[in-house]
């Protein structure tokens, strides 16, 4: 089995009816990059930058961050590296950034909200990322964007730092894509507006599902309500893909759903462009995509979207796509 998948590594991921997909890795350390390459990643769909801030007394400065990002970007050559700016708060805490005690941390001061409120954290990170862009093919995305204003504000800070760096004599890549994580239901509802401003969306299904069902993603008591295969989720994802494609933008997914074999046939048939996941799942998912035809899956998507429950969706996919077993 492993050997059969191994042969896929050097080929592109193409469905049986000839549509190209990118299957990328989620990474959080440099060691993960080595695994990603060995496991057949076609890029990095999510670089979690939190690792740089862990186990230290003080914030990493621009120079330290630059050295780290350059290493990641250069290691992937001309393959995509999608770096996410610092995503703390919620369940992720850092000693050196004092956060308020909150009754509902997942609904509170987290991710880009912290970045915009504390530009002394966001700006050096963006400068370091921008400087690393000339060593490969970097894209930058902001986590937990809720409104158009937030995206514009974050983007304006990025553009300001880019101008400053250029005036200071640094080389910055010309083609850096700037996108956002799509993790909040209100954003999915408004996707056609956001799509005008972003270069891409990366759907964070872990948070999107949590917020859609009002269910804490880490709470076992209510885990039965955490349903990423629910038709409500499929409808939202389809909406986002259609809105993005109408503006000529691409859509990835970097939550756990992107490597769920039951979800993958539906996602590919809906036109998701990039699937990003833990490296260990990559060849399995690439092999599955290779075997399936997006055209033949259309009636299944139609039925899944119109199903009543997640259990029905699972049953439909298992019946229609024996390859997922
Ligand atoms: C997500 O929310 O799906 C995601 C990829 O981000 P994280 O799991 O780090 O919140
Ligand atoms: Mg998230």
Question: Which atom number of ligand 1 is nearest to the Cα of residue 143?
Answer: 6
Each residue's pLDDT tens digit, 195-214 = 999 999 999 999 999 999 99
Distance (Å, rounded) from C-alpha 83 to C-alpha 65?
12
Residue with CA at minimum distance from ligand 1 atom 6: 204
pLDDT > 70? residue 3: no
Each residue's pLDDT tens digit, 221-262 = 999 999 999 999 999 999 999 999 999 999 999 999 999 999
Q: Does the interface ipTM go beyond 0.95?
A: yes
Burial class (CB in 10 A: 0-12, 13-18, 19+), 219: exposed
E strands, 148-264, are 177-182, 200-203, 250-253
Asked whether residue 1 is marked as a ligand-binding residue, the answer is: no
Burial class (CB in 10 A: 0-12, 13-18, 19+), 167: exposed
CA of 20 to the centre of ligand 2 (A): 26
pLDDT > 90? residue 92: no
CA of 295 to the centre of ligand 1 (A): 30
pLDDT > 80? residue 7: no
As beta bridge partners, residue 177 has 139
Q: What percent of the chain has pLDDT over 70?
A: 98
Confidence band, pLDDT 50/70/90 cuts, at residue 98: confident
Question: Which atom number of ligand 1 is nearest to the Cα of residue 203?
Answer: 3
176 close to 133: Cβ distance less than 8 angstroms: yes
> Tell me, what's the pLDDT at 96?
85
CA of 263 to the centre of ligand 1 (A): 17
Does the predicted model carry a pTM greater than 0.90? yes
Structure tokens at 20: 């190209």
What residues does the ion ligand 2 have nearby, CB within 5 Å? 204, 207
Burial class (CB in 10 A: 0-12, 13-18, 19+), 87: buried
Neighbours of 3 (CB within 10 A): 6
- Name which of 141, 137, 153 is nearest 178 in CA terms: 141
> Residues with catalytic annotation?
254
> Tell me, what's the pLDDT at 91?
78
pLDDT > 70? residue 319: yes
> Tell me, what's the pLDDT at 2?
61
Distance (Å, rounded) from C-alpha 318 to C-alpha 290?
17
Buried b (16+ CB within 10 A) or exposed e, 42-58: bbbbbbbbeebbeeeee
Q: What percent of the chain has pLDDT over 90?
A: 90
Each residue's pLDDT tens digit, 46-89 = 999 999 998 888 999 999 999 999 999 999 999 999 999 999 98
């Amino acid at each position: 089995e492993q050997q059969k998948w191994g042969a896929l590594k050097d080929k592109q991921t193409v469905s049986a009816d000839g549509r190209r997909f990118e299957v990328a890795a989620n990474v959080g350390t440099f060691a993960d990059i080595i695994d990603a390459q060995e496991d057949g990643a076609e890029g990095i769909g999510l670089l979690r930058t939190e690792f740089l801030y862990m186990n230290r007394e003080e914030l990493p400065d621009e120079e330290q961050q630059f050295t780290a990002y350059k290493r990641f970007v250069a290691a992937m050559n001309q393959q995509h590296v999608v770096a996410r700016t610092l995503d703390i708060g919620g369940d992720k805490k850092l000693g050196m950034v004092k956060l308020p005690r909150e009754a509902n941390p997942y609904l509170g001061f987290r991710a880009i909200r912290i970045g915009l409120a504390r530009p002394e954290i966001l700006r050096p990170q963006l400068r370091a990322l921008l400087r690393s862009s000339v060593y490969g093919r970097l894209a930058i995305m902001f986590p937990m964007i809720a409104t158009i204003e937030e995206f514009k504000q974050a983007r304006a800070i990025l553009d300001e730092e880019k101008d400053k760096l250029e005036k200071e004599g640094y080389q910055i890549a010309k083609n850096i894509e700037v996108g956002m994580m799509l993790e909040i239901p209100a954003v999915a509802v408004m996707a056609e507006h956001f799509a005008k401003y972003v270069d891409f969306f990366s759907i964070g299904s872990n948070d999107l599902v949590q917020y859609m069902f009002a269910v804490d993603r880490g709470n076992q008591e209510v885990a039965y309500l955490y349903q990423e295969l629910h038709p409500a989720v499929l409808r939202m994802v389809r909406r986002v893909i259609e809105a993005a494609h109408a503006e000529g933008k691409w859509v990835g997914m970097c939550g756990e759903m992107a490597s769920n074999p039951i979800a993958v046939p539906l996602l590919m048939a809906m036109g998701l462009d990039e699937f990003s996941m833990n490296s260990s799942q990559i060849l399995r998912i690439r092999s599955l995509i290779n075997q399936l035809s997006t055209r033949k899956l259309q009636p299944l998507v139609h039925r899944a979207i119109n199903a009543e429950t997640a259990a029905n969706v699972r049953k439909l996919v298992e019946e229609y796509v024996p390859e997922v077993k």
